[in-house]
A = this chain, B = another copy of it.
Amino acid sequence: MNSYIGIDLGGTRIKGVAIDANGNVLHQTYTPTNDGEGRVWKAAIKKTVDDLKQKLNAHKIVVGISAPGLPSKENTVIGFMPGRLEGLENFIWSDYLQCPTNVLNDGVAALVAEAKTGAAKDSTNAVMVTLGTGVGGALLINKQAYQGSFNKAGHIGHMVIDSNDDCDVTGMPGSLEECIGNCSIEKRSKGKFTSTHELLIAMRNGDDFAKDVWLTSVKKLAIGLASVSNIISPDTIVVGGGIAEANDDLFIPLNKWFDEFEWQPGGIRPQITKAMHGDLAGAIGAACFAMQK
């Protein structure tokens, strides 16, 4: 019988989990992605896998790896990942780890975890949006992770919100990522804040400018999610990432504006819910994906 191990290759830490058949975490480990000496992450992943295999006392393992970038058609390698993690593109993990290995995008992995044991576990069709430095996302269609024809589906951060505004890193004008991602907080706050966290603290302390900046961003997120919902018609929208920790300050105005802008024939609408898996979402999802393959 196979045992399933999931790895999430993050910018700062490598997270590893071993799961049981129901997707529950049996063991978990954290390792730094780099030690200052450069590319140690390949060896660190190998060690993480070996350690978890030993803890499981397993003979046959299957590994899933969640990583930034776009996987190849068959989810065997990360086919596209410019700029960071040199050596990741087209690296064949199954050869290196000496076991069957599936590779998937980290946003997709997070949604697979939510669909298995989290906020989307009763969903048939779901949209996930992750609000962090950038804005990522993923789609669940007929209970399966949907990656699209070129494995880039779910990049809802790179949809238009204001067609006359400046282009984002992918070339999309006035994108959702520019409206609410941490990457644009200085621009949105005219240099006053360097993080959404700071902005929210100021707002809670009565800063009207901070409140205006925040609510403008949330309104645009609502318009973006209402658009996606008119296109995908999901039963659930899962909101994750660090900015989701704003909790009521996010979800109360978001729901109000979503109802105002979404087309809701017969009064029916999807549920908007916070992601349940924290920083292990990618690793858990990668292991679940390996199990489903």
A residues neighboring B (CB under 8 Å) = 70, 79-80, 82, 124-125, 137, 139, 141-142, 146-156, 158-164, 167, 170-174, 219-220, 223-224, 226-228, 230-235, 260-263, 265-266, 268, 270
Contact = CB atoms under 8 A, between A and B. Distances in A.
A261 B171 contact: yes
Given A125-B149, A149-B270, A159 B265 contact: no
A150 to B, nearest CB: 5
Given A149-B124, A160-B223, A162-B164, A265 B70 contact: yes
A174 B139 CA distance: 25
Nearest to A144: B142
A231 B155 CA distance: 5
5 contacts: A70-B265, A150-B235, A150-B268, A152-B263, A158-B263
A231 B153 contact: yes
Contact of A163 (B149, B150, B161): B161
A268 B151 CA distance: 11
A172 B263 contact: yes
A261 B173 contact: yes
A6 to B, nearest CB: 23
Contacts of A170: 230, 263
Contact of A233 (B124, B150, B171): B150
Given A141-B141, A171-B262, A231-B153, A162 B159 contact: no
